[in-house]
Amino acid sequence: MTPPSLSERARAGLAATDMDDPPYLAPLNPPQREAVLTTEGPVLMLAGAGTGKTRALTTRLAHLIATGRAGPGDILAVTFTNKAAREMKERIGELIGEAVEGMRWLGTFHSIGAQILRIHAEIVGLKSSFTIIDTDDQIRLCKQVIAAEGLDEKRWTGRGFAGLLDDWKNRGLTPGEVPADEAHKFGDGRAIKLYRAYQERLISLNAADFGDLLVHNLTIFRKAPDVLARYHRRFRYILVDEYQDTNIAQYLWLRLLARDAEGKSGGNICVVGDDDQSIYGWRGAEVANILRFEKDFPGAKVIRLEQNYRSTPSILAAASAIIDHNSNRLGKTLWTDVPDGPKVKLRGVWDADEEARQVTDDIEAEQTKGRRLSDMAVLVRASFQMRSFEERFNTAGIPYRVVGGPRFYEREETRDALAYLRLVRNPDDDLSFTRIINKPRRGFGDKAVQTLNIAAREMRVSLTEAGRRLLETDEMRGKARTSLARFLEQLRQWQAMAETTPPSELSETVLEESGYTDFWRNQKTIQSAGKLENLKELTRAAGEFDTLEGYLDHVSLVAERPAESSDGEVWLMTLHAAKGLEYPVVFLPGWEEEIFPSGRSVNENGQDGLEEERRLAYVGITRAREDCRISFAANRQVYGRWQSALPSRFIDELPEEHVEVMSEPGLYGVKAKEMPAYSRFDQVAASDGGYDTPGWKRARSSRPRNPAPAIDGSSRLIASSVGGTSPFKTGERVFHQKFGYGEVKGADGNKLDVAFEKAGQKKVIASFLIAADEV
């Protein structure tokens, strides 16, 4: 007789004792099996990258139902995304069949919070038919509240206030709970008053925003203990995925729900997470939530999933060596049975464009070996880094896909900036004129635009020309007239500048004088910082061209999407967007100080910021299954000005026995392991043919003045000179290939402050300099 299937057992409600060693346990390794079978009390499943935590979590859910410990409606299962909830439901369904349809409490924090709020809306002054407003409506409502308070809407923006509200609601704070000293964060000390007015306005509209879905739940549970007790009885088991990404509001919500029969923090809650992959602090996630789980739930059992099924030993060794430098972690050691593969490759290049060329060459080389494009991913720390890769891929005809956002030249801020420049080049470009005439807002509203369009059609001229003619009459008055006159005068000045000013300087001037850069500065949101970086990158890209016309023509060509390939597309995304994904080959460019780790993150958050950046490095490396390639540039160009870049401190944390330092063979007649640190930058410049001058050759020959210890195959081969000392003295005259002649003003180890005759004061690495008398 054939034994009953798992779904049949689930429908029959068979007890655990009737299911000796059920077949769904067979694919599990011992720690996964333990995580499934430890059903009672608090459990922390500490699951490293690629250790099969989803299999363990879904099998645990299926086990609870199949053994009759709980019905499908008695389990609260929380995920972070709707996609994760759908996938979890599908996988459970494969194990227990149609019984999964009864799991009405499987979903995201906010979807489950919305269900609870619908049932008990009256407790917080809402009706069950309340509307959940989206981000655009939230910003619109914020603007109304700001205007009602009589604040300057240019200084105190709706988007900025919405960002502050999200921060407070992520922390579970109602208007009465916001600390008084945080009132200064918005509106000249009126932030809390505005928050209260905003919430009152939502109640009057019978609406809630995204953050309210949990904050209102907290209020309900605290105001109505009988309601909370109802959910204690309902949720016999609680399972939480990605616990390391919970914010304070989510943590408080779970703490209130995860109670035992006596109301203590000891119910049947199982959380799954990895403290080493907590990378969303910028949006409210608190890694401390998972770190203190054992304290919050006394007697909790911690089960470590450490067998990795994804990556090679060298990749795991590199990731583990970096994350071991973090102090705030629970600790685990990943291992694998996967056969060893190539070492992690490390390459230093001259600049970002050379980095993009090298990565593209590597991708093409892998493709000729039979590797599909879709097997390869480029993961960057910040979105502005994508520009050089997108341009290179387009030039090489390599199809690619940007994940988590539009392509560089399709982004809102990039399109706006290009519209300004196109209008400077061609004042008759009506599409560009319409896009930016009121962006940022300059008092030229829809009615004024309509008047301008009518006049342009009647006179059969462009909008710019129609505007000039309207200013000679009385048909347009008031603020719109003043705004139009000022804008057209600015446009005239920019056109005059374009005749003699380099494109980089021109674009920087246009974006500043138009107020567009300030528009994003004043938003004071997480997104605005990235948009400002993208504008800076666009300006940098313009610096590679002699004329504005040449740059805009170039953009038009590279913005075209390459034809689709039978090999798929290369994946291009930020490290944050890559979490949860994996690829056979992963490229990790831009490992330089200030970029990775992010200077802004470290400056704003200190040691906590640095540790989150290190966790991001761990996530990046562990996305690779077979081949991981890290690179960094010696120079970056910002607003058309070259700046020396230091290799990321994370490079020095890589294990030398698992790293292969890449170099061009045969250069200078020495092998890579014999070359002093940073000499790789010389070889890139020389191979380009642009710097092979007598002075440059003497610069190479002078390298022994500042030798770095040679460590065969080590990441420290490249990073070792960072902590060295300088052979140059204060006051000594020196020469730099990019910046020219200058005088040493001060030294910090081997980093020198040099006053260059033409480039001004710069901080550079001593190994890039030679004594002026040797040139």
Joined together, the tokens standing for residue 205 give: 């509209």
Q: How far is CA 127 from CA 150, 199, 204, 555, in A?
A: 31, 15, 11, 52
Residue 54 among the catalytic residues: yes
Residue 625 among the catalytic residues: no
φ, ψ for residue 329, nearest 5 deg: -155, 155
Annotate 405-450 with DSSP letters as a single string.
S--GGGSHHHHHHHHHHHHHH-TT-HHHHHHHTTSS--S--HHHHH
Q: List the one residue out of 615, 75, 47, 559 whose CA is nearest residue 322.
A: 615
Partner residues linked to 642 by β-bridges: 637
Helical axes 158-170 vs 135-148, angle rounded to 10°? 110
Please provide the distance, in angstroms rounded to a whole number, between the alpha carbons at the two ends of the chain.
91
- Residue identified by tokens 């770095």 is 708
Strands 75-79 vs 237-240: parallel, antiparallel or unpaired:
parallel
Q: Is the peptide bond before 440 cis (omega within 30 degrees of 0)?
A: yes
Residue type, 549: E
- Residue identified by tokens 């250790």 is 51
- Residue identified by tokens 């390794």 is 29
Joined together, the tokens standing for residue 44 give: 């922390």
Residue 277 among the catalytic residues: yes
Active-site residue, from 9, 32, 53, 353: 53
Given a contact cutoff of 8 angstroms between Cβ atoms, the answer to whether 550 and 376 are in contact is no
Given a contact cutoff of 8 angstroms between Cβ atoms, the answer to whether 143 and 151 are in contact is no
- Residue identified by tokens 């919070």 is 113
Residues 6 or more apart whose Cβ sits within 8 Å of residue 426: 432
Q: How far is CA 707 from CA 659, 661, 679, 702, in A?
A: 21, 18, 10, 10
Say if residue 478 is exposed, middle or buried (CB neighbours under 10 Å; 0-12, 13-18, 19+): exposed
Active-site residue, from 277, 360, 464, 517: 277
How far is residue 485's CA from residue 753's CA, in Å, rounded to a whole number? 46
Active-site residue, from 159, 259, 329, 623: 623
Question: Would you tell me how many other CB atoms lie within 10 Å of the CB of residue 727?
Answer: 16
Active-site residue, from 241, 353, 413, 653: 241
Joined together, the tokens standing for residue 294 give: 């054992």
Q: List the one residue out of 369, 362, 371, 375 whose CA is nearest residue 401.
A: 375
Residue 358 among the catalytic residues: no
How far is residue 233's CA from residue 47's CA, in Å, rounded to a whole number? 29
Given a contact cutoff of 8 angstroms between Cβ atoms, the answer to whether 105 and 112 are in contact is yes
Residues making up the annotated binding site for ATP are: 47-54
How far is residue 177's CA from residue 708's CA, in Å, rounded to a whole number? 56
Residues making up the annotated binding site are: 47-54
> Which residues are tagged catalytic?
53-54, 241-242, 277, 623
